[in-house]
Amino acid sequence: MQAEYVIVGAGSAGCAMAYRLAEAGKRVTVIEHGGSDAGPFIQMPGALSYPMNMGIYDWGFATEPEPHLGGRVLATPRGKVIGGSSSINGMVYVRGHARDFDTWAEMGADGWSYADVLPYFKRMETAHGGSGPEFRGTDGPLHVTRGKRENPLFDAFIEAGRQAGYPVTADYNGQQQEGFGPFEATIHKGRRWSAANAYLKPALKTGKVQVLRGLARRVVMEGRRAVGVEVDTRAGRQVVRAGREVILAASSINSPKLLMLSGIGPAAHLKEHGIEVVADRPGVGANLQDHLEIYMQFSASQPITLYKYWNLWGKAWVGAQWLLSRSGPGASNQFEACAFIRSKAGVEYPDIQYHFLPIAVRYDGKAVAEGHGFQAHVGPMRSKSRGSVTLRSGNPADAPVIRFNYMSHPDDWEDFRTCIRLTREIFGQEAFKPYLKAELQPGPRVQNDIELDDFLREHVESAYHPCGTCRMGRASDPMAVVDPECRVIGVEGLRVADSSIFPQITNGNLNAPSIMTGEKAADHILGRTPLPASNLEPWINPNWRVSQR
Q: Which DSSP string corresponds to 304-371?
A: -SGGGG-SHHHHHHHHHHHHHHS-SGGGS-S--EEEEE-SSTT--S--EEEEEESS-B-TTSS-B-SS
Residue 312 and residue 255 share a domain: no
Residue 98 and residue 14 share a domain: yes
Residue 363 has pLDDT above 70, yes or no: no
Q: Which pLDDT belongs to residue 495? A: 98
Q: Does 203 map to a domain?
A: yes
Q: Is 0.85 topped by the overall pTM?
A: yes
Strand locations in 9-141 (E): 28-32, 61-62, 75-76, 125-127
Residue 366 has pLDDT above 70, yes or no: no
Residue 304 and residue 348 share a domain: yes
Counting the structural domains of the chain, the total is: 2
Using a pLDDT cut of 70, give the percent of the chain over it.
Answer: 99
Task: Count the Cβ atoms, other than its own, within 10 Å of residue 528.
Answer: 11
CATH number at residue 450: 3.30.410.40
Q: Which pLDDT belongs to residue 367? A: 66
Q: What is the 3-state secondary structure (H, E, C) of 451-498?
A: HHHHHHHHHCEECCCCECCCCECCCCCCCCCECCCCEECCCECEEECC
N residues, the chain: 549
Nearest Cα neighbor of 18 from 440, 388, 500, 497 is 497
Rounded average pLDDT over 43-64: 94
Rounded average pLDDT over 512-533: 98
Q: Does 545 map to a domain?
A: no
Report which secondary-structure segment, H or E, holds 229: strand 225-233
Residue 398 has pLDDT above 90, yes or no: yes
Q: Does 518 map to a domain?
A: yes
Instruction: Give the pLDDT band of residue 370 (cuts 50, 70, 90).
Output: confident
Cα–Cα distance, 141 to 201 (Å, whole number): 11
Q: Does 401 map to a domain?
A: no
Per the DSSP assignment, residues forming a β-bridge with 315 are none
Instruction: Give the pLDDT band of residue 61 (cuts 50, 70, 90).
Output: very high
Residue 364 and residue 446 share a domain: yes
Cα–Cα distance, 520 to 507 (Å, whole number): 19
Task: Count the Cβ atoms, other than its own, within 10 Å of residue 396.
Answer: 17
Nearest Cα neighbor of 502 from 160, 13, 119 is 13
Task: Count the Cβ atoms, other than its own, within 10 Å of residue 540.
Answer: 15
Residue 471 and residue 453 share a domain: no
Residue 100 and residue 2 share a domain: yes
Q: Does 399 map to a domain?
A: no
Residue 423 and residue 280 share a domain: no
CB 3 within 8 A of CB 27: yes
Q: Does 539 map to a domain?
A: no
Nearest Cα neighbor of 512 from 175, 129, 171, 120 is 120
Residue 157 and residue 132 share a domain: no
Residue 333 and residue 228 share a domain: no
Residue 482 and residue 376 share a domain: no
Task: Give the domain range for residue 159.
Answer: 148-182+292-380+408-459
pLDDT digit string (tens) for 437-475? 999 999 999 999 999 999 999 999 999 999 999 999 999
Q: Does 403 map to a domain?
A: no
Residue 445 and residue 319 share a domain: yes
Rounded average pLDDT over 491-501: 98
What is the phi/psi pair of residue 495, to 5°?
-130, 160
Which is it for strands 388-390 and 191-192: parallel, antiparallel or unpaired? Answer: unpaired
pLDDT digit string (tens) for 335-357? 999 999 999 999 999 999 999 99
Buried b (16+ CB within 10 A) or exposed e, 315-349: eeebbebbeeebebbbbbbbbbbbbbbbbeeebeb
Q: Does 257 map to a domain?
A: yes
CATH number at residue 72: 3.50.50.60
Report which secondary-structure segment, H or E, holds 426: helix 410-427
Nearest Cα neighbor of 482 from 264, 235, 203 is 264
Cα–Cα distance, 44 to 146 (Å, whole number): 16
Cα 7 from chain centroid (whole Å): 20
Cα 432 from chain centroid (whole Å): 30
Q: Which pLDDT belongs to residue 405? A: 98
The chain-wide mean pLDDT, for the chain, equals 97
Residue 123 and residue 31 share a domain: yes
Cα–Cα distance, 187 to 43 (Å, whole number): 9
Rounded average pLDDT over 215-220: 98
Which residues does the annotation mark as catalytic?
Answer: 465
